[in-house]
Amino acid sequence: MAYIVSFILAIVSYMVIDNVILSRYFGICSFIGVGNKVKSAVGMGLAVTFVTMMAALVCWPIYTFILVPAKMQYMDTIVFILVIASLVQMVGFFIKKKSISLYKTLGIYLPLITTNCAVLGVVQNNTAYDFGRSMANALGTSLGFVLVIFLFACIRVRLEGANVPKAFKGVPIALIVAGLMAIVFMGLGGMIDLGSWGLI
Amino acid sequence: MDQKQSKLRVFLDPLLKANPLFVMVLGTCPALAVTTSLESAIGMGLLFTFVVFFSNLIISALRKIIPDEVRTPCYIVVIATFVTVVKILSSTFLPELYNSLGVFVSLLVVNCIVLGRAEAFASQNTVVDSMLDGVGNGIGYTWAIAAIALVREVLGAGTLTFGKVFTFIPKVTLPILGGFKNSDFSMAMPVFKSSAGGFLVLGIALAIIAAVNNHKEQKAKEAARAAKAAAAAAAKGGNN
Amino acid sequence: MNILKNTYVKCALVLSCICVASAGLIGGLNAVAEYYKETHKSTEAPAHIKALKSGANFVEVENFTPTSFTGNNTKSTITAVYALMEGGKPTGYAYEVNCGKPVKTDVVFSVLFEGPATEATKNSVKPSAINLVEGGMMGGDAGYDVNVAKLGDSIVAGTASMNDESGVVSGGTKSQKFLLDGLQFARTDYVARINGGSVTPVEKTPLEEIYGDNFKSSTEDTTFTKLTGTTDNCSYEITTRYEVTLKNSTVTTAYAGETSFTDPEEGGTNKVAIVAAFSGDKTTVTLDGYKLTKNTGYNDYKTWLEKIKAGTVSFDDESAVETGSTYSTKAVRDMLLAMRQDYIANYKSEIGKLYGADYVSDVADEFTALAATTSHCSYEISKRYTVTLTSGTGKAYEATTSFQDPEGETDVMKFIAAFSGTATDVKLNGYKFTKNISWDDYKGYVDGVKAGTTSLDDEGAVHTGSTLSTNAVRDTLLAMRADYIASLGE
């Protein structure tokens, strides 16, 4: 029971308190480029979630059971990125088959998931955790990513109609908005102390 | 002369006109993550230059051999190789830098700039050009993140600290807005050290650049209009 | 060659070639890096030592083995010592100290002491630089680490003292106290080392060596007067008696003494000095350990000492003295017998300690255990002792009490309580918990009862903060007191 609770707390912690984009600085390129289409933003968020979960599921055993015993930890980056690239290919294939429209809306962003810092970042960080915590990290990170992307897209819809000074139009104002969101999320800091739950 | 001009162009463009961070808005993740300290930013820039230089070199050298269908995986493997090389080298010779940059050294693999240059330039240009492009992008990116780091560290911590990451320099702390000897006075605003500050600084930097560009555009438009008007007047005058 | 024109084959070939090349490059580089790390590891002082004084030449002290010392709050270990060499001479020493784990991570720091220092000026010696490597909490943004670093910096700046806890601020007090212990230990070594004295590292005290990790602290018994004696074999002098507290809360006694005898061959005087630790009660005394602080050439008495310690030979057996160093062994034995005699004379049982100087003796009663359940706890008073005091008599009780804590767990406490006095004025002379729980605010309450400032009858005086445990203890004490009053009537 305690383990389940701590697992959920870890997910919440990674999702909201140590948010992947606003606090850990991953996935910013896709975050800025997401534009104001809420549906496609959420769609991409879900694709990232799927890729992250699968990648974490596959890469952690590879690291722990193959690379570490062979003392080849330095090969981790190459192995991880190849796994992620292949997963993205598979996801693209899958989406193309299932829903051509979604594939079209995602457009360039689908292969860009490969270069999304969040996926590789999560997988790299997981090498230091046990399996439970790494899955919590992956799930929490992806949910946090979807959450922030969704909020951001909603805000950008409003931003379209706002009277933004010319120099700030586009990326600069998006970054300032992200900064304000980061301040909001900063207020949640310290809410869950993973250490006191014995998770560190 | 033309050859040399264009080689110089290849090198100079990414420094200013086609700056990977400020103009193309690529590679933003490390630009926000490692810029809390000027030294770390310079260190990151150094590693980045190494990776982009060598990956450009190798990809350009192999560009005729790599088949089109597998080019992305091949590029990724090459880039990942050099990132691992840089990881090993930095953890051995510059362990403090490696520790302070953390996971972002590995994330150079998915740095949009590296992959972007490989795809857009190195795969289609000669080795020498690609090397120049690599160095140019490296320096361009380095000064860009160094500028952000300078602002963030001065405003956020009030001091500039050297010697923490590059341990062969003696550790020196320059008090600018705070950290004065024998005084607790500080005008530093810690918000700039946090992630929010990073977003704000980058946003404002991009806004400034956009403003400058807009101004230039305005001027160019006015100049063009004036030229057009002058030409029309001249034509009119000529018709008289 | 046509097969090479096939796209799939070409792709696979190119990709695999690149992969193999990359693996080779990285593997090779990794091997070189490992080799470099191995060969370059030892000579340079590590970064956190070099950072103490930039540009300075730090040379690792040779033949240094890590030494530990248990201070007020923790056991600190000096893991490395570096000499600050200026002009070919050491003008200071830098220490790498690990103070143990107050919360999550160890408190590890490096510190530099420079300049002259003596035992007399010790307390005014302060470090010239401190580098906190790990702070004790979770590192990074946790505020507590910052306070440990701040304390270190204030000590260096002179605004805080390392001699006491006045500079400790709230927010990680435990980690800061650990830092103070480590600094004091490093300074002690520095005072010895800078004066050329200890090229050998600071040694553990003999008692620390005897008890090892079990050792917590020791005090010299000031009421002890030197014991001298002369026998056929030697003349000895027992100089000190120590009360030693161990980590498992037991208290034992140790003695330091020196015995001298005439060398049978060369005629000079040989001396053997020894610190011996005893335990046991009046009927059986065992030698827990010993440390020879002064030796003679023929030292086969060590074999005899080992046998005594192991219990294969008894103190009283004169014939067991080893041949080969008969004279020295007899000399050592005579002194140990004298120590043992003093131990027996000085011995106070557990109960005796609760009564202090008043105590004469005690005897266990025939007692049927009293067990009951109250609204606060369930207790069982298992033993009762009748105690003879110089001022009269008293009774001591052993009891176990258990109660439900707010998390639903059953907490169990065991303690001994000593009573004396008349039926109308019952005194609690002392108490000792042999099984404790972590919420121990009840100690404050029981101390109040013992001092007489809190009345056992006063229900409102129960200490908040550990109300449940205090009420459990109180109920048990009330039951004990009731029995005591009843026994007075017998």
**Optimal mutation site among C4, C18, C40, interface B, most CBs of chain B within 10 A:** C18
Q: Please report the number of interchain residue pairs, chain B to chain C, with beta-carbon separation below 8 angstroms.
A: 52
- Residue C395 CA neighbour count, 13 Å, CB half: 22
Angstrom distance (rounded) from CA C112 to CA C51: 10
CA C25 to chain A, closest CA, distance in angstroms equals 11
Which helix (H) or strand (E) covers residue B46, if one does?
A: helix B38-61
Asked if C186 and C95 count as a contact pair (C-beta separation under 8 A), the reply is yes
Tell me, what DSSP letter sits at residue C197?
-
Q: What is the dihedral of CA C280, C283, C287, C288, to 10 degrees?
A: -20
Angstrom distance (rounded) from CA C112 to CA C50: 10
Q: Which of B63-67, B100-104, C46-50, C409-413 has the weakest average pLDDT? A: C46-50
**C285 band by pLDDT with thresholds 50, 70 and 90:** confident
C30 within some domain: no
User: Token digits for C381?
Assistant: 């008073």
Q: Which of B12-16, C45-49, C184-188 has the weakest average pLDDT? A: C45-49
CB spacing of B107 vs A124 below 8 angstroms = yes
Higher pLDDT, C81 or C120: C81
Same domain? For C334 and C369 the reply is: no
pLDDT at B120: 86
Same domain? For C107 and C219 the reply is: no
Domain boundary among C144, C173, C194: C194
Asked if C470 and C462 count as a contact pair (C-beta separation under 8 A), the reply is yes
pLDDT at A184 over 60: yes
Tokens 């800061």 belong to residue: C176
Residue type, A168: F
Check if A71 contacts C (Cβ < 8 Å). Answer: no
Same domain? For C320 and C357 the reply is: no
Q: State the residue range of the domain holding C215.
A: 207-346
C35 within some domain: no
pLDDT at A197 over 60: no
C95 within some domain: yes
Over range B105-113, report the average pLDDT. Answer: 88
Q: Which residues of C touch B96 (CB under 8 A)?
A: 47
Average pLDDT in chain C = 80
pLDDT in tens, B124-147: 888 888 999 999 999 999 999 999
pLDDT at C296: 67
Domain boundary among C194, C228, C243: C194
A 120-139 residues inside an 8 A Cβ radius of B: 120-121, 124-125
Q: Which residues of A touch C27 (CB under 8 A)?
A: 72
Number of folded domains that form chain C: 3
User: Token digits for A29?
Assistant: 């390129």
Check if A1 contacts C (Cβ < 8 Å). Answer: no
Domain residue ranges in chain A: 19-197
Over range B209-227, report the average pLDDT. Answer: 88
Same domain? For C296 and C367 the reply is: no
User: Token digits for C33?
Assistant: 């890096």
Same domain? For C371 and C473 the reply is: yes
CB spacing of A200 vs C104 below 8 angstroms = yes
Higher pLDDT, A74 or B2: A74
**Optimal mutation site among B103, B105, B111, B145, interface A, most CBs of chain A within 10 A:** B103
Same domain? For C299 and C391 the reply is: no
Same domain? For C284 and C390 the reply is: no
Domain boundary among C164, C194, C224: C194
C295 within some domain: yes
Same domain? For C90 and C172 the reply is: yes
Smallest CA–CA distance from C33 into chain B, residue: B92
- Residue C301 CA neighbour count, 13 Å, CB half: 27
**Would you tell me how many other CB atoms lie within 10 Å of the CB of residue C196?**
8
Q: Which of A127-136, A140-149, C316-325, C373-382 has the weakest average pLDDT? A: C316-325
A 17-36 residues inside an 8 A Cβ radius of B: 22-29, 32
Report ipTM for this prediction: 0.81
CB spacing of B67 vs C10 below 8 angstroms = yes
Tokens 């695999």 belong to residue: C16
pLDDT at B44 over 90: yes
Smallest CA–CA distance from A196 into chain C, residue: C104
CB spacing of C30 vs A74 below 8 angstroms = yes
Over range C342-348, report the average pLDDT. Answer: 80
Q: Please report the number of interchain residue pairs, chain A to chain B, with beta-carbon separation below 8 angstroms.
A: 124
Under 8 Å CB-to-CB from B47, ≥6 apart: which residues?
B86, B90, B97, B101, B105, B108
Q: Which residues of A touch B195 (CB under 8 A)?
A: 22-23, 25, 179, 182, 186
User: Which of C7, C22, C36 has the CB atom closest to B77's CB atom?
Assistant: C22
Residue type, C485: I
C18 within some domain: no
C135 within some domain: yes
CA C30 to chain B, closest CA, distance in angstroms equals 7
Check if A85 contacts B (Cβ < 8 Å). Answer: yes
- The pTM of the whole model exceeds 0.80: no
Q: Which of B17-26, B140-149, B169-178, C310-319 has the weakest average pLDDT? A: B169-178
CA C381 to chain B, closest CA, distance in angstroms equals 60
CB spacing of B67 vs C50 below 8 angstroms = no
pLDDT at C154: 87
Q: Is the torsion defined by CA of C228, C230, C236, C242 positive or negative?
A: negative
Angstrom distance (rounded) from CA C242 to CA B185: 53
Q: What is the dihedral of CA B176, B177, B178, B181, to 10 degrees?
A: 40
Over range C266-270, report the average pLDDT. Answer: 77
Angstrom distance (rounded) from CA B113 to CA B118: 8
Over range C70-77, report the average pLDDT. Answer: 79
Q: Which residues of A touch B115 (CB under 8 A)?
A: 115
**A194 band by pLDDT with thresholds 50, 70 and 90:** low
- Residue C419 CA neighbour count, 13 Å, CB half: 26
pLDDT at B84 over 70: yes
pLDDT at C464: 64
pLDDT in tens, A49-72: 888 999 999 999 988 888 888 777
